[in-house]
Structure 1
């Protein structure tokens, strides 16, 4: 039995499985819209203290290093 989820962006039903390469999104477009919302800081993950942490240059370098490593791993970013 397949699991069906709603696309977080458009709410279209998506079958969760290897045939849905953008899961939980229904399409690349919905995936990119969501990414843009995070990049614009319209979505946030709450912290326990409720205070937003300031991003330092060291943190940015760490994030860039993790992304560079992830890009080199096969299949992390889907085209």
Structure 2
């Protein structure tokens, strides 16, 4: 997140209206760890706060998305 606020301000001057943050988290029997969940939640909250300050709109600040690793779910379902 270093420099994110400055980058957002520059992009806003160029016409950007929002920013997007993505985190890929591996899902398995042992992952994600509680530490990984906590760190990602903290990072997303810091990111959202910066974007809200720069773009002055909460609804455009972030989007969440789940990406699944197919092999893990194949093993669970027996495919």
| Same-fold call, TM cutoff 0.5 | no
Structure with a larger share of its residues in helix:
2
Structure with larger RCO (C-alpha < 8 A, sep 6+) = 2
More strand by share: 1
Which TM-score applies when normalising by structure 2?
0.30
TM-score normalised to structure 1 length: 0.30
